[in-house]
Amino acid sequence: MNAAVRRMASAYEKARACAPQPWMVATLLAGAIRHLEDAEKNFFDNHRADCINRVSKAMAILQGLRDNLQPEVSVQLCERLDLFYRINIFRISALMRSGFNAKDCERIKADIRKMYDAWASVGTEGTEKA
């Protein structure tokens, strides 16, 4: 095996080891949901600075997940995930402008929860006993 092939194999192994595991993505999505719940509570308790902080954290989680998509693995999957993240980042940012509409917030959390459930189920495949 020549040096170039060894470097490519080494780079592949490093990339594979650094790829996020499904449970990691599920944990981050659960964090985004938690931040939205806290933001909603802070908004209605008139703690605007805390609300803005929580909204920013929820958007940062989704943006971080979006930034780490790997189109070389599956272009179609990345396009769909990118759309999901972009739409929900926009929807979350609109919450403050809408006076934190409770129905909108619940819809956003429900959509993120569906994605969480999908990632959580992928993360537990193969670990269940037959």
| 59-107: pLDDT as tens digits | 999 999 999 888 887 889 889 999 999 999 999 999 988 888 889 999 9
Fold of 21-124: Four Helix Bundle (Hemerythrin (Met), subunit A) (1.20.120)
Range of weakest confidence among 26-35, 74-83, 106-115 = 74-83
Q: Are 66 and 82 in contact (CB under 8 A)?
A: yes
| More confident: 105 or 16 | 105
Q: What is the number of other CB atoms lying within 10 angstroms of the CB of residue 82?
A: 15
Question: What confidence score (pLDDT) does residue 29 get?
Answer: 96
The owner of tokens 């980042």 is 89
Region 101-115 average pLDDT: 95
Q: What are the structural domain ranges in the chain?
A: 21-124
Question: What confidence score (pLDDT) does residue 35 get?
Answer: 96
Instruction: Using DSSP, state whether 38 is helix, strand or coil.
Output: helix
Q: How far apart are CA 63 and CA 55, in angstroms?
A: 12
Residue 126 scores a pLDDT above 70:
no
Residue 117 scores a pLDDT above 60:
yes
Question: What confidence score (pLDDT) does residue 75 get?
Answer: 87
Q: Where residue 36 falls among pLDDT bands split at 50, 70, 90?
A: very high
Whole-model pTM above 0.85?
no
